[in-house]
Amino acid sequence: MSGRLTATGAVLAALAVGFGAFGAHALKGQFDAEALGWWQTAVAYLLPHAVAVVAIGLAKRPRLALAAWLLAGGAALFAATLFAMALGAPRWFGAITPLGGTAMIAGWLLLGWRALKED
């Protein structure tokens, strides 16, 4: 399980860096201010959550796996909907974004809860 978590986090981190560079260079001047904000927000949330997932995977603590998967899935969903809207997807995608945010919040809360229960 920890290998999959670590790999998932690593892929998400690579995507965050790649999307960040793509947005800064290839899409420079293509976005209006709102779309640029969506793009930057997606990258800003994706990268630190990916790093957290890698750290949890490397810790090899099975009780924290669900929290890590919530962080990974939430960050991926949150970022994907913002990237899609920035690239022209319908605005209703914005209604999906909070689901990813909710999963991230749940992941952090579960991580804290499980950490406290281990002490």
Segment 106-116 mean pLDDT = 96
Whether residue 27 has pLDDT greater than 90: no
Question: For the chain, what is the mean pLDDT?
Answer: 94
Q: What is the pLDDT confidence band of residue 30, given thresholds at 50, 70 and 90?
A: confident
Cα separation, 72 vs 18, whole angstroms? 17
- For residue 24, the model assigns a pLDDT of 85
Model confidence over 46-76: pLDDT tens digits? 999 999 999 999 999 999 999 999 999 999 9
Q: How confident is the model over 13-37, as a mean pLDDT?
A: 90
Percentage with pLDDT > 90 across the chain? 84
Assess whether pLDDT exceeds 70 at residue 119: no
| pLDDT of 42 above 70 | yes
Interior angle at CA 98, CA 27 and CA 6, nearest 5:
75
Distance, CA of 105 to CA of 59 (rounded, Å)? 20
Predicted structure pTM score: 0.93
Range of the domain at 64: 2-118
Q: What's the whole-number mean pLDDT along residues 12-23?
A: 95
Domain count, the chain: 1
**CA separation for the pair 111, 63 (Å, rounded):** 9
